[in-house]
Structure formats: structure tokens, C-alpha cells
Structure 1
Amino acid sequence: MADWRAIILAAGKGVRMKSDLPKVVHSVCGRPMVRYVINVSLAAGAKPTIVIGYGREHVEKVIKDCDADIAIQEEQLGTGHAVMAARGALESYEGNVIVLSGDVPLMQPDSLEFIMKAHEEKSPAATIVTCQIGNPDGYGRIVRDGEGAVQKVVEHADASELEKRINEINTGIYAFRADAMWAALEKIKPENEQQEYYLPDVIPVLLEAGEHVEAVKMANAMEFLGVNDRIQLAEATNIRRKAILARHMAAGVTIVDPATTYIEEEVEIGTDSVIYPFTVISGSVRIGRHCKVGPFSHVRTGTEMRERSELGNFCESKKTVIGEGTKAKHLSYLGDGIIGKKANIGAGTIFANYDGKNKYQTTVKDGAHVGSGTVFVAPCSMGENAVTGAGAIITKNTEIPPGATYFGMPAVPMRQFVEQRKMLKEMEKEKKRKASSKGGKK
């Protein structure tokens, strides 16, 4: 395939999102929408230039590690104006350009490659990507002549009642010959309801100049649906969620009830692991082979579950390594921890990792047995094969030695705990003796 460049439009606010953030930074299954489009562009072989504007500091933050150039649209004066803003980054480029919207997170690389190859085969000045949908409200319509040739693209706000009945929509994706695109952009005018420079207005300009314009109608309309509001964001998220679950199941992971399981893009799960209902796995998480998660678990970013480990009902983990064969089966919070092999984490265990200013780590070594209701006030550690009694409070900077048993609030070694209990009993007896003696004197 020939050399290609992509222009990704990511400068708009997205008014219908009703958000302080730019639309393209809203996440679909844990990944900002614009990152999906960047990844697809790179996978198809088109190095992207990302046009940013409104809230650009937020967009820059989510794309800072991407292999992409950045162009700034200082004023948001429409999609045509946004493409013009990328001219400086592509001034010396003379090949083909694909223009993409940063709010289309469902598109696949093979579809983009198909579009690019279709454009190469006929070498038109422009190729419009279209699809047909049942409810085209909000989308630009493709207007064709009696022979099926494209005449123009009309935005929904500017469409006549007759044009609004058309269900072939403009996906917002175009392939251009770069020289024809720049020349046509110089001639468009903001003569529309929004008084903006619309990219679709280059189509009649090209046709009037005698250039050839093609249209590629894509069969899978779902891939090209943009996200304009929170309802569409939820719809796109649900579609991606189902695809993620299908990918894991195809790779040998059992997901007992996909309808009640949420797994984000960056999650890795090994074969023969089982994910039970009402489980959320979010962020960068690695789950090994033969693990069990759920039901009602929340596995957060930074968690690594090693082979044959288990995280059970109503448990939450974050930035914690759960060692091979280790089990935390009930009602526990494990944050900022390192847990060794074959440890048992009793019901109600808490890693109290935050002191109001900073977060600290809890370490539990191989073979440790944590009693129910134990609270670790980090930083602290528990040695190999050590034991805590039910309800133990392991205070800050405590280091439980290997094989030791700690009880109490605050937790102390068993011998010390027994001595303390004995002392308390003696004190109680002495108190009763004195009370009895005082009563006898009366």
C-alpha cells in the first residue's frame, strides 16, 4: 500500500456530552476514545496528525506517549477549519490523506485498510465513507444524483425535510489526494446555520472543478457510529465490552455471565481462569492461568494475580501482587500490597494503605495466614508462615517475624498477648477484691 497520513479531528468540545472535558477524552472500556482512533490509524499504516483545540491540555495528557504529530486549532470553526489547522504539519506531504473523527471508537484496522485500498484503486480526488442506518438523526446525509453519483454531503442541521429522509449517512471519514484537498479547502465558505467551515463542503467544490469523487459504502455501520452524547457513549462502551469479553473467552477464559461482567481493554487474563458474575476488572490488570475472580469483585489497575490465585466475593484489589496459590475469598480490601505464594487472607482483611497524605505498602510473605478482620496499617510486613489472630490490628512499621503469631489491638507476639491477658485478668481480680473489701467495711 502507498504512503499515507491521517488527520484525526479532536478539537471540538462535544456540547451534547454536557461535560467540562473534551469529548474525545471520555473513556470507552477504560481507554480514551481518541486513543482507539490513533491505534487504528497506526495499525492501518497511516501516521496521524491530531488536531486539538478545546481543552487541549486534557487531550495532550492522554496522547502524550502516542506516535503522532499535533496541530492546534485555536478557534473551533468547523471540521474544514480543523483540517486546515493540520496543513503546517503536512505542508510538504504530497500523498494520500485519510481524515478521521476522534469520537469513533469502534472502527477496526481492516476496515480502514479497505477504505484506503479502495481509494488507491480508483485514484479520485476524494473518497467519502458512508453507511446506512435506521435512525440517521444527527448525521450528515449523502445526496446522490439519479445515476448514483455523489452530489454533496449535507449536515443534519442544514438538510431539507426531503434530505432528512435519506438514511445513507456520512461517517465523517474521507480519503483525499492531498493537493486536491488543500486546494478545495481554500474555496469553502461558512455559509451555513452554524457559520462554520464544513469539511463536506469540499465535495461540491471538487466536483465543480471537474475532479472525480468516489463513495465507499461500508456494510458494518456499527463501526462508524460517532459518540455525541452520554447515551451513545454507553452504547459504544457496551459494544466494546462485549467484544472484549468475546476475545477473552475465545482465548480460553471462562466468563460465567458476560451480561454482568465488565472488563476493560488493558486487562490480560490467562487460560482456564474463571470470572464469576458481577465482577469489574479495570485498568492495567494481569491475571494468570487457573485463577478465580468473583463474584462481586473489583480488580483495579496495578493488580497482578499470579497462577492459581483467587479473589472472592466482595473483594477489592488495587496495585497489589497476589502470589501463586494465594486466596483472598471474602470481603477484603487489598491496596498497595505484595502477597507471596500460598498465603491465606481471611475474611474482612484490610490493607490500610492511605494515611490522608501518602500511600504505603503492605507485604505478606509466602505461606502467611491472616486471621479474619485483620487490619494492616501500612507500611508494615508479615513474614513467611506467620499468623495473625482474628481482629488483629497490625500497626504502622510493624514487622512480624517469620513463623510468629500476633494477636490483639494493637497486635503483639502471642506470648506477650497471653501475658497481657493474664495481667488484665489479675488487675480485674484485684479490682473486684478491693471492691468487695470496701463493701465489707460498710
Structure 2
Amino acid sequence: MPKQKRYAIVLAAGQGTRMKSMRHKVLHSIGGKPMIEHVIDHLNTVGIDRIIVVVGSLSEQVMEQLGDRVEYVFQHEQLGTAHAVMQAKYLLADEQGTTFVVAGDAPLIQPETLQMMVTQHEREKASVTVLTATLENPFGYGRMIRNAAGDVDRIVEQKDGTAEELAISEVNSGTYCFDNQLLFHVLSQIDNKNAQGEYYLPDCVSVLKNQGHKVIAFETKDPEEIYGVNDRLQLTTAQKIMQRWILQYHMRNGVTIMDPENTYIDADVVIGPDTMIYPGTHLHGKTIIGESCILGPNIQLTDMIIGYECHVFQTVATSSKIGPETSVGPFAYIRPNSDVGSHVKIGNFVEIKNSQIGDYTKVSHLGYVGDATVGQHTNIGCGAITVNYDGINKHRTIIGDRAFVGSNVNLIAPVKVEDGAYVVAGSTITDDVPQNALAIARERQIIKPEYAEKLRKKFQSEKESKK
């Protein structure tokens, strides 16, 4: 028997005025990426053949974010959720299969929940399955009304419910699985005779029930999953929920987090077992951390790849690689497009930018290595810098293997220091240094005996003459 096709309609047409933002509500981030990205990712995990996003206000922002990964339909007037879904009719009405309807501002519903929900829906051949939760405070949610046998009868919205109905604690999450053809058949039968004057998607439940179709509910085990976001306060709450889940996931998979209240990890971060994370650690984007690392305190890593057994502390690093058994920090700055090798030491107040640092090389303190290729087993001394910018163009510095660059050296790019070369401290190097050569480029020291006292008297006299 061929696998039943699955579709999804994501509702993202609302203005989101309570966010008080020029950015579309679903594009506000939790867990390191826009809310709607979580929704799309979770749907893709379940296995969706086509995803249709309903857009309206600020549609260009949503379309720029999602690109051609989804299809789009427009809801030009905000006439309710049923009206929004109807906009996808010309794309899906003739298709057979299961259709999810989900909100773009409900990023916490987990793929495991969606999978269990759709499995039950298809196994029981239901016309619609409603994702529900039982809440201590159900205010604002539609209530699930069941009959005497415990079967789903209808959904009543907060503004339309009686006191008895509003006392019910099982609520509608706003996420559904529909038989696709029945969905578009029943949408045309929905009216707007309610307190809001809108076409409610939940009304499909009672219409299908009255027509003899099977209506069921799937209750999530974790009520926090259905939490939606309408304003900044709810955005912060959703962020805290997701952050707690992320940290728990990593701790269950062998990561030690010393202070979860002061550790921040995005949803797409990967961390190897036996890594220890100290407070003040921020891991963003698609950062990948190897096993048995020590991270923090006080670091910010964004889109980084970190090898095993690295120690990174009091450091900011972005869009770069750090090899195994390398130490970085304190107060180091790794800028984009850098590739730091294994067994390397990047020390205090060192900045690396768009550079490759070979294995076993040391840049221990107070240095800048920008637009450079540095070989293996090389030492770059305190205060040494690659002078890569002439005011118009950036130029590259190449330093070979087993080279020594002394303290307070300026390497004026483009320049090459070849294998085994030795650059004496305090030198300003403008020409290439051959293999195994010694380079010294500084003024000869001059000593003037007893002149220091004369100079002090001169300065004192000039100071008094200005009074």
C-alpha cells in the first residue's frame, strides 16, 4: 500500500500588532532562529510533501526568510483562520492525503508530538484530529467540548463560551490533522456568526462531527508545547521554555552544564559528550562542539566548529574552525573565515581574522593575525601584528613552518616569512624573509650619557614658561 501523502498549511498572515514591531511576528527568534523556522523544521522532520504558508501583512519578510523551500498563498483580508486556510484551496483541494494546519507563531510543538498525532490520525482514519492540552489556566484558548461518551463534539472559543464550558481545562492548541479533501469540502460550510465575526477553523470540527465523520483528539503530554506567542512577554516565556528543553537535552546526552540559569544554547547547536560548560557560555547558530571540551566561563561562539578536547574561555569566535586539543583565551577574538589547527595556543588579547593557523603554533598574547597563513610549530611573539590593510586593499601575510616572529614585530603585507626564518623583536618587515634566514629591521640604538637630566630640565623650563 503506497504511503499516504502529507501536506501542511502554516498560518502566517496576521499582523501581530501586539509585538509592536516592524518585523513580522513569526520572524522573531527563539532558540536562535525565527519562530516559523522551528515550525517548518518540525514539519519536515515528520515528512511533508508540500508546505504552503499563508501570508498577508509583511509577506515580503516571510518570503525572504523562507525562500523557495515552501509555497505561498495570500490572505489579503484577515477574516479568520478558516478563511486563511481556504486560500490554499486552489493548490490542495484535489489532493488526497493528510493535511496539517499549524500556526507560524507556535514554535514549541515538537516533531515527536506531530508524528504521534499524525500516526494516530491515519491509523484511525479520522476526518480531523485536534492537538489538545490540559491547562491549569485555560483562559484565552478554545475549549474542547466532549459528549457523554468522552468523544470530541465541538470546540468553543473563549468569547463564545458559557460559564460551564469555560470551566473546562482541555483546550485546543490550534494544530490539526485533516483529511485533505474533507477539509476543503467543509470549509465552504463555515459561517462567521460569532463574537469575532470571523470564520473559525475550529468550527470544522462540529460540522464534520454532525455529518457523521470521525473526529478525534490527541493530547500532548507536555502542555507547554502549545504555548503560542502574541507579544514580547510571551516571546520571552517561549524562549525560556525552549532554552530549558535544549539544556536538558544536552545534559541527558552527556554534557555537564555547571549553571543552566546562566548558559544559553541555540536549538541547532551540537555538543559532544563529556564536554563541560561553565557559566556565561553562549553557543549560537549551527555551532558544533567536539567531545571532552571545556567551554567558558564567558564565551560567545557563533557558527563555530570546535574539535575534541579544546579549552575555550573568555572568548568571542564566529564562523571559524578550531582544531582538536587547542586552547583559546582568555580575551581572544576569532573572526570569520579562520581555521585554527590542532594543539594550537591562542592566548590573551589575541585577534585572528580570515587566517589559517597551523598545528602546534603559538600566538600567546597581544597579537593580531589578519589575512594570514601561518605554518606549523611556529611562534608569534607578544605584540606582533600582520599589517594587512593599506587603506584601500587587504593583503596577505604568509609565515612558514617552524618560524619565529619576535615580540613587537610588524609584518607589512604582502610579505612572506619562509620556513625556519627568524624575525628579531621590534622589526618592521617589508621584504620577504628567506628560509632559515634571520631578519632584523630596526634603528640602531643610540646612548647619550647624562642627557636624561638635561631633557627633564628642558621640559620643566618649557612648562613654567607657559604659566
TM over 0.5: yes
Task: Report which stretch shifted further, 392-401 or 268-277.
Answer: 392-401
Aligned to 1:27: 29
User: CA 1:238–1:430 in structure 2 vs 1: closer, same or farther (change >3 Å)?
Assistant: same
Aligned to 2:362: 369
Aligned to 2:233: 231
Aligned to 2:408: 408
- The correspondence for 2:97, drawn from 95, 98, 102, is 95
User: CA 1:411–1:108 in structure 2 vs 1: closer, same or farther (change >3 Å)?
Assistant: same
Q: CA shift at 1:338, angstroms?
A: 2.0
Distance of 2:130 and 2:376 partners within structure 1: 65
Question: Quick check: 1:381–1:399 contact (8 Å CA) kept in 2?
Answer: yes
Aligned to 2:138: 136
Distance of 1:435 and 1:222 partners within structure 2: 75
Aligned to 1:358: none
Q: CA shift at 1:146, angstroms?
A: 5.1
User: CA 1:211–1:321 in structure 2 vs 1: closer, same or farther (change >3 Å)?
Assistant: closer
User: CA 1:428–1:181 in structure 2 vs 1: closer, same or farther (change >3 Å)?
Assistant: farther
Q: Counterpart amino acid of 2:54?
A: V
- The correspondence for 1:64, drawn from 54, 57, 67, is 67
Q: Counterpart amino acid of 1:379?
A: D
Structure 1 residue matching 2:376: 3-state secondary structure: coil
Q: Counterpart amino acid of 1:284?
A: K
Distance of 2:216 and 2:441 partners within structure 1: 87
Question: Quick check: 2:129–2:215 contact (8 Å CA) kept in 1?
Answer: yes
* Superimposed CA distance per residue, residues 104-159 of structure 1 (whole angstroms, 9 cap, x where no aligned partner): 22223332233223333443433333221011122122234555454432322444
Q: Counterpart amino acid of 1:231?
A: L
* Superimposed CA distance per residue, residues 198-239 of structure 1 (whole angstroms, 9 cap, x where no aligned partner): 212223433444544333333322222222222332222222
User: CA 1:335–1:428 in structure 2 vs 1: closer, same or farther (change >3 Å)?
Assistant: farther
Q: How does 1:9-48 map to 2 (within 5 A)?
A: 9-47=11-49, 48=51
Task: Report which stretch shifted further, 333-342 or 187-196.
Answer: 187-196
User: CA 1:94–1:330 in structure 2 vs 1: closer, same or farther (change >3 Å)?
Assistant: same
User: CA 1:196–1:431 in structure 2 vs 1: closer, same or farther (change >3 Å)?
Assistant: farther
Distance of 1:345 and 1:422 partners within structure 2: 30
- The correspondence for 1:399, drawn from 394, 397, 400, is 397
Aligned to 2:286: 284
What are structure 1's unaligned runs of at least 5 residues?
354-360
Question: Quick check: 1:385–1:404 contact (8 Å CA) kept in 2?
Answer: no
Question: Quick check: 1:380–1:395 contact (8 Å CA) kept in 2?
Answer: no
- The correspondence for 1:166, drawn from 165, 168, 172, is 168
What is the root-mean-square deviation of aligned Cα atoms in Å?
Answer: 3.1
What are structure 2's unaligned runs of at least 5 residues?
389-394, 413-422, 429-439, 459-467
Distance of 2:139 and 2:271 partners within structure 1: 40
Q: CA shift at 1:346, angstroms?
A: 2.0
Aligned to 1:357: none
Question: Quick check: 2:408–2:425 contact (8 Å CA) kept in 1?
Answer: no
Aligned to 1:324: 324
Distance of 1:415 and 1:2 partners within structure 2: 72
Q: Counterpart amino acid of 1:64?
A: G
Aligned to 2:379: 387
Hey, which of these two has a bigger chunk of helix by percent? 1
User: CA 1:44–1:417 in structure 2 vs 1: closer, same or farther (change >3 Å)?
Assistant: closer
Task: Tell me the number of residue pairs that the alignment of Structure 1 and Structure 2 aligns.
Answer: 426
Task: Report which stretch shifted further, 320-329 or 393-402.
Answer: 393-402
Question: Quick check: 2:324–2:341 contact (8 Å CA) kept in 1?
Answer: yes
Aligned to 2:309: 308
Distance of 1:270 and 1:214 partners within structure 2: 41
Distance of 2:75 and 2:448 partners within structure 1: 78
Question: Quick check: 1:69–1:89 contact (8 Å CA) kept in 2?
Answer: no
Q: CA shift at 1:422, angstroms?
A: 5.7
Q: Counterpart amino acid of 1:282?
A: H
Q: Counterpart amino acid of 1:311?
A: V
Question: Quick check: 2:382–2:407 contact (8 Å CA) kept in 1?
Answer: yes
Q: Counterpart amino acid of 1:380?
A: A
Structure 1 residue matching 2:11: 3-state secondary structure: strand
Counterpart check, 1:251 vs 2:247: no
Counterpart check, 1:55 vs 2:53: no
